[in-house]
């Protein structure tokens, strides 16, 4: 059961968080569809700093989303071991939990993340913000719109240690923090980010806009 009756953030706030983090990841020539750890860590940091949501926490583990496509496709992060879905360092997803809600800032990229031969149709750029389901093991992902999140504490600790061991990652989180402005405040449409030679270039805010919410 959610600790709060209403979602912790609004659609404009979610979109602003996504566009800021996505722009920083894309500038680093990284693949945003494989950056769930950075989205979760940076997102949780911004939620604490700018939204005063002190419980915001990045988690890693098994996750699954039925995306309501024509093929009833479910995007699943994890690997099968017998009848179980488990997560490891090569098969996992990251998200944020805050006040009894799941916030997945990767959701606008689900279309790019889903296999083209299985999804059956274009997946809209939607916000994902839903109450935590405590009995995730019982979720049937064949049901349209179903979702599950099963955190793995050991994996989360290992991934977070690897993140903090690389100072450059936190530098990028700090850039997100400097750039982000909570709506309705205006946000700069670009920010100067220094490259490896120390030369700053203007990086534009992500052009991706959202169409709605799951």
**1 has a pLDDT exceeding 50:** no
158, 128, 185, 202: CA torsion to nearest 10: 60
pLDDT, tens digit, for every residue of 91-149?
999 999 999 999 999 999 999 999 998 888 899 999 999 999 988 777 899 999 999 99
Instruction: Write out the two tokens for 181.
Output: 């402005």
pLDDT, residue 199, reads 82
Q: Give how far the C-alpha of residue 173 lies from the chain's centroid of Cα atoms, to the nearest Å.
A: 14
* Domain boundaries defined on the chain: 11-213
Query: Which residues are paired to 131 by β-bridges?
Result: 101
Q: Does domain 11-213 have CATH number 3.10.550.10?
A: yes
pLDDT of 2 reads: 56
Place of tokens 């009756």: 5
pTM exceeding 0.85: yes
């Amino acid at each position: 059961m959610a600790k709060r009756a209403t979602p912790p953030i609004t659609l404009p706030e979610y979109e602003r968080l996504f566009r800021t983090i996505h722009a920083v990841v894309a500038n680093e020539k990284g693949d945003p569809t494989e950056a769930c750890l950075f989205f979760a860590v940076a997102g949780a940091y911004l939620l604490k700093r700018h939204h005063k949501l002190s419980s915001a926490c990045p988690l890693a583990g098994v996750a699954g989303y039925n995306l309501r496509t024509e093929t009833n496709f479910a995007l699943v992060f994890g690997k099968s071991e017998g009848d179980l879905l488990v997560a490891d360092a090569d098969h996992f997803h990251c998200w944020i939990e805050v006040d009894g809600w799941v916030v997945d800032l990767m959701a606008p990229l689900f279309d790019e993340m889903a296999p083209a031969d299985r999804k059956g149709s274009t997946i809209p750029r939607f916000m994902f913000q839903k109450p935590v389901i405590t009995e995730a093991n019982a979720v049937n992902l064949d049901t349209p719109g179903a979702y599950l999140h099963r955190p793995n504490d050991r994996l989360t600790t290992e991934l977070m240690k690897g993140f903090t061991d690389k100072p450059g990652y936190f530098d990028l989180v700090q850039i997100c923090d400097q750039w982000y402005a909570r709506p309705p405040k205006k946000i700069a449409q670009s920010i100067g980010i220094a490259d490896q030679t120390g030369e700053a270039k203007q990086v534009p805010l992500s052009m991706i806009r959202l169409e709605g919410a799951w």
